């Protein structure tokens, strides 16, 4: 052996021994969980975990917190924080700037109309006589989901099933290759789907609908689970910041559900905790009916609990109604977890729980407490903007639509009149900043390419998709909402009360613990992909959580 070769080998050996911080771990057998369960709770603030902790059961949220892993500092890394973008971002690991779901609705310049996130005129309803409710599909979603990647990896042998009350909360998590996505139809009281997935409902969904559970859940008033005096974490039952259910004069328990629905209108079920319970019911039926996690390939079940959002919007986060809903949801979760442990074993499933966004306190209440908060009237703003444009540009028709805190300009008219688009956008930004409640405004030129160091601007940039987004985006001040109601609340901003959500992991190879390190919502799909040793979704920007 040549001397130079001996020297090189010796130096390499010394180098290996010197790197004491490098841990060599032998490759383990490729053991995968048989089932992934993704749970998304619509409109859940992170602080609800602590706020209601003492009243939770041992087998629901508490079990996930005690025996699972808690990512305590999980935030959405874009805005607007709405249901459609939230579900899309969780399951694609991407922000709207990549997956294209910029809102629940948005304006389409080519047609001059506002479209709904999952609208699809090419498909038909399956499971109801309603023509509109089933004309839905995931075609507007530009990225693959983690479920899509699982299906592709297994050569379409893995199953992906998704269920929710809201169509968008079932369709977007299910992705393009879902074996079945099912949502609630208020007209029939059935869970339905569209011909994008199947031409008819599978027998297990037909059997589930035949049980007529909505009639059962709406046959009695909604009273509190515990004696009402024990709800010390919430405000008084009768307060001026809560909305009213149909036929009520006060926002107080009990809520008389039997008088609020008919056999052709089950809409009220969504705004009760029993909407979550029936979602739990169909999720358990899906596990059995589809034989999920019992085959040779990993399967995926996506569950979204939507009633928390409907109730939160109506009543606000300080209400007894919201607290009671979470205590009941805790029992529904306990039933799901217990079923999974009994029928699969803890080591054979991986469960994550998160939210599609959080929510603000009721601005009217904050104003009464002399805090900065308020309501922004887009009607007044729009009328004033038209007058300003007529005065400056001799035309009041330069704005096509205002939606999602974004202003869409009439591009064709602007081009015909030879108006400089960038200058016009800059002028509208300056005009917008004169309004009380507007913290800042950004043009499409800024959001599409510039480096914006302001945190809120960065989140708005991550939510901007040039082919679908507007020309100017407004950022309201903290605790300011659209002036549509002074009771209840909403969400959609860049602020922590809308972006900070729970993220809990439980099951296969999950050891108890927590981290306070920042985690982005887009990291969830990347982490699941890492668990499964598959490629992350096509537009994924997230990183696996360690």
- Say if residue 319 is preceded by a cis peptide, omega within 30 of 0: no
Label residue 182 left, alpha or beta by phi (over 0 means left) and psi (-120 to 50 means alpha).
Answer: beta
Token output for 34: 């048989």
Q: In the 8-state DSSP scheme, what is residue 491? A: -
Token output for 478: 């903290």
Integer Cα distance of 306 and 165 in angstroms? 6
On whether the CB atoms of residues 168 and 83 are closer than 8 A, the answer is: yes
Integer Cα distance of 546 and 541 in angstroms? 16
Token output for 245: 């259910």
Rounded to the nearest 10 degrees, the angle between the axes of helix 320-343 and helix 307-315 is 170
**Helix, strand, coil: what percent of the chain each, to 5?**
35, 20, 45
Integer Cα distance of 425 and 423 in angstroms? 5
Nearest to 66 by CA among 334, 428, 296: 334
Active site residue 83: yes
Catalytic residue among 83, 193, 277, 443: 83
On whether the CB atoms of residues 85 and 528 are closer than 8 A, the answer is: no
Q: In the 8-state DSSP scheme, what is residue 32? A: -
* Burial environment of residue 375 by CB neighbours within 10 A (0 to 12, 13 to 18, 19 or more): middle
Residue 477, SS3 per DSSP: coil
Query: Quick one: which H or E segment has residue 166?
Result: none
In sequence order, the β-bridge partners of residue 113 are 108
Integer Cα distance of 174 and 158 in angstroms? 13
Pairing between β-strand 349-355 and β-strand 503-507 as defined by DSSP bridges: antiparallel
On whether the CB atoms of residues 167 and 183 are closer than 8 A, the answer is: yes
Query: Quick one: which H or E segment has residue 404?
Result: none
251 backbone dihedrals φ, ψ, rounded to 5°:
-85, 65
Integer Cα distance of 127 and 201 in angstroms? 6
Please enumerate in sequence order all residues whose Cβ is within 8 A of that of 378, keeping only pairs 6 or more positions apart, or say none: 402, 482, 483
Q: DSSP secondary structure string, 297-345?
A: S-EEEEEEE-HHHHHHHHH-TTSHHHHHHHHHHHHHHHHHHHHHHHHT-
Integer Cα distance of 398 and 385 in angstroms? 10
Token output for 426: 């800059």
Unique residue bearing structure tokens 């004169």: 434
Q: Sign of the C-alpha dihedral, residues 493, 494, 495, 499? A: positive
On whether the CB atoms of residues 502 and 49 are closer than 8 A, the answer is: yes
Q: In the 8-state DSSP scheme, what is residue 115? A: E
What residues are labeled active site?
83
């Amino acid at each position: 052996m040549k001397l130079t070769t001996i020297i090189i080998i010796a130096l390499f050996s010394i180098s290996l021994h010197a790197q004491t911080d490098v841990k060599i771990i032998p490759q383990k057998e490729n053991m995968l969980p048989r089932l992934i369960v993704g749970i998304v709770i619509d409109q859940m603030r992170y602080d609800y975990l602590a706020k209601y902790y003492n009243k939770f059961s041992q087998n629901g949220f508490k079990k996930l917190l005690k025996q699972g892993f808690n990512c305590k500092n999980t935030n959405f890394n874009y805005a607007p924080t709405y249901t459609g973008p939230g579900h899309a971002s969780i399951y694609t690991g991407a922000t709207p700037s990549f997956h294209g779901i910029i809102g629940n609705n948005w304006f389409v310049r080519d047609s001059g109309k506002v479209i709904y996130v999952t609208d699809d005129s090419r498909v038909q309803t399956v499971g109801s006589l309603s023509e509109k409710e089933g004309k839905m599909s995931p075609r507007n979603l530009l990225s693959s989901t983690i479920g899509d990647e699982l299906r592709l990896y297994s050569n379409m042998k893995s199953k992906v099933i998704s269920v929710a009350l809201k169509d968008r909360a079932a369709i977007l998590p299910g992705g393009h290759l879902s074996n079945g996505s099912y949502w609630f139809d208020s007209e029939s009281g059935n869970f339905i789907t569209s011909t994008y997935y199947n031409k008819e409902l599978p027998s297990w969904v037909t059997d589930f609908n035949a049980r007529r559970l909505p009639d059962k859940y709406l046959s009695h008033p909604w009273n509190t689970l515990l004696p009402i005096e024990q709800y010390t974490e919430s405000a008084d039952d009768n307060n001026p910041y809560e909305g009213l259910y149909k036929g009520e004069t006060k926002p107080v328990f009990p809520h008389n559900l039997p008088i609020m629905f008919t056999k052709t209108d089950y809409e009220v079920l969504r705004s009760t905790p029993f909407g979550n319970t029936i979602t739990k019911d169909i999720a358990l039926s899906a596990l059995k009916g589809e034989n999920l996690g019992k085959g040779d390939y990993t399967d995926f079940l996506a569950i979204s609990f939507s009633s928390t959002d409907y109730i939160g919007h109506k009543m606000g986060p300080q209400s007894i109604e919201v607290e009671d809903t979470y205590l009941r949801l805790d029992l529904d979760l306990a039933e799901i977890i217990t079923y999974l442990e009994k029928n699969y074993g803890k080591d054979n499933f991986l469960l994550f729980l998160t939210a599609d966004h959080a929510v603000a306190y009721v601005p009217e209440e904050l104003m009464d407490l002399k805090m900065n908060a308020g309501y922004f009237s887009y009607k007044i703003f729009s009328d004033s903007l038209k007058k300003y444009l007529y005065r400056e540009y001799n035309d009041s028709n330069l704005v096509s639509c205002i939606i999602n805190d974004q202003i869409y300009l009439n591009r064709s008219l602007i081009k015909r009149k030879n108006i400089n688009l960038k200058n016009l956008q800059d002028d509208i930004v300056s005009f917008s900043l004169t309004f009380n409640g507007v913290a800042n405004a950004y043009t499409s030129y800024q959001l599409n390419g510039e480096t914006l160091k302001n945190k809120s601007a960065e989140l708005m940039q991550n939510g901007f998709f040039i082919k679908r987004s507007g020309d100017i985006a407004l950022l309201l001040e903290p605790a300011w909402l659209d002036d549509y109601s002074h009771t209840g609340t909403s969400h959609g901003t860049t602020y922590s009360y809308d972006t900070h959500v729970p993220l809990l992991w439980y099951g296969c190879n999950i050891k108890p613990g927590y981290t306070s390190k920042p985690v982005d919502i887009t990291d969830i799909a990347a982490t699941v992909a890492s668990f499964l040793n598959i490629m992350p979704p096509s537009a994924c920007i997230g990183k696996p959580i360690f």
